[in-house]
Structure 1
Amino acid sequence: MVQVRAQQPVNTDGSINLEAWLDHVLKMDPALEREPLKDACEFARTAEQRCLEGREAPAEGAPSTFRTGLEIAEILADLKLDQDSLVAALLYRGVRLNQISLEQVQKHFGAVVSKLIEGVLRMAAISASLNPRESLVLNAQSQVENLRKMLVAMVDDVRVALIKLAERTCAIREVKNGSEEKRRRVAREVFDIYAPLAHRLGIGHIKWELEDLSFRYLEPEQYKQIAKLLHERRLDREQFIENVVQQLKQALADNGIQGEITGRAKHIYSIWRKMQRKGLEFSQIYDVRAVRILVPEIRDCYTALGIVHTLWRHIPKEFDDYIANPKENGYRSLHTAVIGPDGKVLEVQIRTHAMHEEAELGVCAHWRYKGTDVKSTSSHYEEKISWLRQVLEWHEELGDIGGLAEQLRVDIEPDRVYVFTPDGHAIDLPKGSTPLDFAYRVHTEIGHGCRGAKVDGRIVPLNYSLQTGEQVEIITSKQGVPSRDWLNPNLGYITTSRARAKIVHWFKLQARDQNVAAGKAMLERELSRLDLPPVDYERLAEKANLKTPDDMFAALGAGDLRLAHVVTLAQQLVEPDRGAEQLDLIPRRFGGAAKPGRRGDIQIQGVGNLLTQIAGCCQPLPGDPIVGYITQGRGVTIHRQDCANALQLASREPERIIQVSWGPAPVQTYPVDILIRAYDRSGLLRDVSQVLLNERINVLAANTLSNKEDSTAQMVLTIEIPGLDALGRLLARIAQLPNIIEARRQRSS
């Protein structure tokens, strides 16, 4: 559930009771000093009053910069941040709204506070990069530069990120009474950037609040539905938890363990995410009824776990030991699910008091300042700062704004695999990682020179999916260089953004002529395999928003342009009017008169009941970043965000640009013939069938013929396929089988 805002103490006339507020903050953290905080409060309040003199009264409900500063400071005091951080928080909104200058801050409160505020101001660049209306009219290179400065500020002093997190927490609390457009804009920014950042820094209670509030505004119906289900069962659940707590207290006391047991808060977004990820109903979610046990020592955690499993039956596959294998953000705890009293499922979390403090405060629990020098008391703090530095390095290599949210969201899901180097060092990777991901995780040059891999002593393909506990050895060559096939998502060689960034960066450094030749060969090979007619490369480059075909080939060769995207554009050029076999993400039979809020079975959300139509200039596909333009009499036209016409419209009439998004669409499939030629061998048909099974492809017809003279076999299969991406992936998988000569699409007669 979202956190309820605490009311600030007020005098009888409605003004803030500053002395009472200071008492409250000092009680939260006695290490703080009263006078510097009081001076900052008075300075901020005076600056706001001075700016309001002679002006009209602010709109009712408009947030006061002074009161917001107090709220930000309260959040930071709860996180146990230092004196300078709280002073910077009290003054930040005033500086942002030009009520106070940085020169005044430096003169009255020192260079450290001034530098902190300057760093937080730089982080505001994130908002512009995520706001479609603003990003359409900003220069892309300036956005990249702003984001680099923001990341530098974060890495140099983590307090900057913490102040910004607190400020965004206040911002999303404040939009409750704002317009729907503003609620969604702030919620999207918070959800994409700041909730993952809070998670990555290990600040649990901030992360939960940001996720729940964002979910409330982005998916209001689903939020209300889960909230209603939680409320309906609240009384029964509270009675159940009370009985469980009493049993556990008695059992722990009987075994001489001093444990603190409480019911655990229920977070709506986490419940919804688990329902979506595992395809469960609300009644099947285990942690709706949950308790947390806090004990003094690590050994007490495992003793308490044994007691829990003695009291109630453990549910298989619902136990996680994050003490032995901590999460990437340093989180440690034991999680288990049992069949509790009355046959009801119960989740139990067990951790020490120190682990609980870190789960709630994260990086804040492990640092202290002397002036501006950070001195860590835990390796977890250094790991978090190291991660921020890696984000900066990857961002420098990619120069890609769109990848920032992906980088920050890495490891937001709990699934990780833990593998070992030949020397026994543990390496953790996202679930589904390959030996190539492992190689680039160890060292960039090992990744570049990778030519093979051994897992537990046996040779495995480079797209093998690693499992926890395996030992991985990378076989390298001094003359080895990356292969462009590694960037092909259909082949599954890499899954992590780090590995992709390193490979793309390597190709960017190569000669343009090599990239042009390689890109052209890649495209021609893929068009031939998919059996698409000859395409005009001049028109295709124009459709890809590039000046010349060589620019397009160079971008393909360097990895800046996805092959699947170019192939889809090529098909739109050469097969605009094909019937039932149109292999596009949008079936042609859906093309017709535009209907309110939808194109065929594709929902377009965020525009109410307005009439919508797809722009003919850029023809956005589901999954493309899109923006809406309000026309005169023809409803809302949907453009790609990078469409040249949309950019011009946004610069001339920004007030008519609105935020829209794709809704869910049913998967459509189409019959396609594929031809497979191979040297005949035993088990060939079985291997091809296994690939079709793994890709979940339905076969409508099959015809096989063996030629004894040249020992070859030919298969013609009629399959059902949802789109070009799926077809390309299937053909690539089949082509990797032993003895395959070619696998391509075949025209039906």
Structure 2
Amino acid sequence: MNLYRDFLTYIRSSFSGPSFDEIRLALRTAVRSLSDLKRYDGTPFVFHSILTARIVAEEIGLGRNSVVSTLLHDVARLGRMTPDEIVRQHGSECAGILRGLNQISAVDPKTSTLQADNFRELIVSYSTDPRVILIKMADRLEVMRSLESFPELKRNKKAWETLNLYSQLAHKLGLYGIKSEMEDLSLKYLEPKEYGHIVRKLSESDAARQAFIASFVRPVEERLHALGIRYKLKSRTKSVYSIWRKMRKQRVPFEEVYDLFAIRIIIDCPPDQEKMQCWSVYSVVTDFYTPNPDRMRDWISIPKSNGYESLHTTVV
């Protein structure tokens, strides 16, 4: 019962009173309609709906209708609630989202690169409402987080689909955290020995890496502070999948993957000063560390087609 209580506590704190009431109604419908179904580990099948709805609300940041539709997705997919009933209880918007989700669920991914490309295009074509594809991403992420309980053949199939279909869609949507988690979880089941090796190596070198990052950013932060530039600094270690892919591509061991971490400096300034301040930060970084000109990427002068603006560089 903790799962239900925690979910409702989160929803109550994050949504208005009327929205909370509608989400709670959808939850009750899902619990009642799916009560005879179990997951592979013996837990109620509705747990999948609840955990996916939590991802939709908390990690992706979608609203009431998306959460309601997520809770009712399997109810509608299994025909345990008619479209008319959905419209009556929750409105035509939820019914439309569920129609798109059901269309995607009816498509069977095939395990070939060409068919993977076709599958991604088909999913996008069904998702006239962008919330549909975002909910589908959350649905697949929850499946991957629970994959340990699946039979081996299903695990491998889900992992392949996620790596070749869903993680690439997540990348196109700008869901980079979800993309990385999907890739890492897929690798965990598709290449368990290599995944375990990289995880162990990262764990063994974590303390030294954190100390190195701290010493690396110290002079940069001091200079930025002196210049009066407002910013947020984030550091992250390269994902397990990214390290594995680089090891394979360059045919090198873990110890010879040198760009294991990245630093992100996010500028906080008026829009008309963004380009100038980004170049100022770049100048500060390269005052202390030598840049590799072959690794420079300027998406400030020419932003990406999706609006992304940033400077990327690798330094020694």
TM-score over 0.5 for the alignment?
yes
8 Å Cα contact 1:201-1:329 kept in structure 2: no
The CA deviation string for residues 504-530 of structure 1, in whole angstroms up to 9 with x for no partner, is xxxxxxxxxxxxxxxxxxxxxxxxxxx
**Aligned-pair distance for 1:338?**
1.8
Structure 1 residue 306 corresponds to structure 2 residue 283: yes
Structure number with bigger Rg: 1
**Partners of 2:90 and 2:142 in 1: how far apart?**
24
**Partners of 2:52 and 2:243 in 1: how far apart?**
28
The CA deviation string for residues 659-702 of structure 1, in whole angstroms up to 9 with x for no partner, is xxxxxxxxxxxxxxxxxxxxxxxxxxxxxxxxxxxxxxxxxxxx
Match of 1:241 among 210, 213, 233: 213
Is the partner of 1:291 in helix, strand or coil? strand
**Partners of 1:161 and 1:186 in 2: how far apart?**
17
Is the partner of 1:317 in helix, strand or coil? helix
In structure 2, the partner of 1:113 is 94
The CA deviation string for residues 398-431 of structure 1, in whole angstroms up to 9 with x for no partner, is xxxxxxxxxxxxxxxxxxxxxxxxxxxxxxxxxx
Relative to structure 1, is the Cα distance of residues 131 and 102 closer, same or farther in structure 2, using a 3 angstrom cutoff? farther
**Partners of 2:137 and 2:169 in 1: how far apart?**
8
Relative to structure 1, is the Cα distance of residues 97 and 288 closer, same or farther in structure 2, using a 3 angstrom cutoff? same
In structure 2, the partner of 1:76 is 56
Code of the residue aligned with 1:33 in structure 2: it is S
8 Å Cα contact 1:33-1:83 kept in structure 2: no
Structure 1 residue 61 corresponds to structure 2 residue 38: no
**Aligned-pair distance for 1:229?**
1.3
Relative to structure 1, is the Cα distance of residues 212 and 83 closer, same or farther in structure 2, using a 3 angstrom cutoff? same
Match of 2:236 among 243, 260, 264: 264
8 Å Cα contact 1:40-1:91 kept in structure 2: no
**Partners of 2:251 and 2:313 in 1: how far apart?**
20
Code of the residue aligned with 1:35 in structure 2: it is P
**Partners of 2:96 and 2:106 in 1: how far apart?**
17
The CA deviation string for residues 257-292 of structure 1, in whole angstroms up to 9 with x for no partner, is 112212224311112222333444423334313221
Code of the residue aligned with 1:239 in structure 2: it is A
**Aligned-pair distance for 1:228?**
1.4
In structure 2, the partner of 1:129 is 109
**Aligned-pair distance for 1:89?**
1.3
**Partners of 1:274 and 1:130 in 2: how far apart?**
27
In structure 1, the partner of 2:125 is 152
In structure 2, the partner of 1:44 is 27
Greater RCO, 1 or 2 (C-alpha within 8 Å, sep 6+): 2
More strand by share: 1
More helix by share: 2
Relative to structure 1, is the Cα distance of residues 59 and 163 closer, same or farther in structure 2, using a 3 angstrom cutoff? closer
Code of the residue aligned with 2:138 in structure 1: it is A
**Aligned-pair distance for 1:105?**
1.3
**Aligned-pair distance for 1:332?**
3.0
Code of the residue aligned with 1:49 in structure 2: it is R
Is the partner of 2:61 in helix, strand or coil? coil
**Aligned-pair distance for 1:147?**
8.9
Relative to structure 1, is the Cα distance of residues 292 and 63 closer, same or farther in structure 2, using a 3 angstrom cutoff? farther
**Aligned-pair distance for 1:113?**
0.4
Give % identity. Answer: 29
Structure 1 residue 21 corresponds to structure 2 residue 10: yes
**Partners of 2:8 and 2:109 in 1: how far apart?**
40
Relative to structure 1, is the Cα distance of residues 324 and 280 closer, same or farther in structure 2, using a 3 angstrom cutoff? farther
The CA deviation string for residues 499-557 of structure 1, in whole angstroms up to 9 with x for no partner, is xxxxxxxxxxxxxxxxxxxxxxxxxxxxxxxxxxxxxxxxxxxxxxxxxxxxxxxxxxx
In structure 2, the partner of 1:741 is none
Relative to structure 1, is the Cα distance of residues 239 and 315 closer, same or farther in structure 2, using a 3 angstrom cutoff? same
**Aligned-pair distance for 1:244?**
2.3
Relative to structure 1, is the Cα distance of residues 89 and 122 closer, same or farther in structure 2, using a 3 angstrom cutoff? same
- Taking only aligned residues, the RMSD between alpha carbons, in angstroms, comes to 2.8
**Aligned-pair distance for 1:224?**
1.3
Gaps of 5+ in 1: 1-9, 27-31, 136-143, 340-749
Normalized against structure 2, the TM-score is what?
0.85
| TM alignment of 1:586-601, pairs within 5 A | none
Match of 1:172 among 117, 127, 144: 144
Relative to structure 1, is the Cα distance of residues 207 and 175 closer, same or farther in structure 2, using a 3 angstrom cutoff? same
8 Å Cα contact 2:163-2:186 kept in structure 1: yes
8 Å Cα contact 2:65-2:94 kept in structure 1: yes
Match of 1:213 among 179, 185, 190: 185
8 Å Cα contact 1:65-1:94 kept in structure 2: no
Is the partner of 1:196 in helix, strand or coil? helix
Structure 1 residue 200 corresponds to structure 2 residue 172: yes
8 Å Cα contact 2:34-2:46 kept in structure 1: no
Code of the residue aligned with 1:222 in structure 2: it is E
**Aligned-pair distance for 1:115?**
1.1
Runs of 4+ in structure 1 over 6 Å off: 146-149
**Partners of 1:170 and 1:60 in 2: how far apart?**
14
Match of 1:103 among 71, 75, 84: 84
**Partners of 1:85 and 1:97 in 2: how far apart?**
19
In structure 1, the partner of 2:249 is 277
Is the partner of 1:130 in helix, strand or coil? coil
8 Å Cα contact 2:38-2:45 kept in structure 1: no
Code of the residue aligned with 2:278 in structure 1: it is C
Is the partner of 1:324 in helix, strand or coil? coil
8 Å Cα contact 2:224-2:281 kept in structure 1: yes
**Aligned-pair distance for 1:185?**
0.7
Structure 1 residue 320 corresponds to structure 2 residue 300: no
**Aligned-pair distance for 1:15?**
4.8
Code of the residue aligned with 1:95 in structure 2: it is A
8 Å Cα contact 2:56-2:67 kept in structure 1: yes
**Aligned-pair distance for 1:110?**
0.8
Code of the residue aligned with 2:100 in structure 1: it is G
Q: Count residues in correspondence.
A: 306
Match of 2:160 among 188, 191, 194: 188
**Aligned-pair distance for 1:316?**
4.1
**Partners of 1:284 and 1:268 in 2: how far apart?**
15
**Partners of 2:305 and 2:194 in 1: how far apart?**
30
**Aligned-pair distance for 1:63?**
5.0
In structure 2, the partner of 1:251 is 223
Relative to structure 1, is the Cα distance of residues 59 and 198 closer, same or farther in structure 2, using a 3 angstrom cutoff? closer
8 Å Cα contact 1:48-1:66 kept in structure 2: yes
Is the partner of 1:263 in helix, strand or coil? strand
**Partners of 1:327 and 1:103 in 2: how far apart?**
43
Code of the residue aligned with 1:87 in structure 2: it is V
Relative to structure 1, is the Cα distance of residues 330 and 190 closer, same or farther in structure 2, using a 3 angstrom cutoff? farther
The CA deviation string for residues 695-732 of structure 1, in whole angstroms up to 9 with x for no partner, is xxxxxxxxxxxxxxxxxxxxxxxxxxxxxxxxxxxxxx
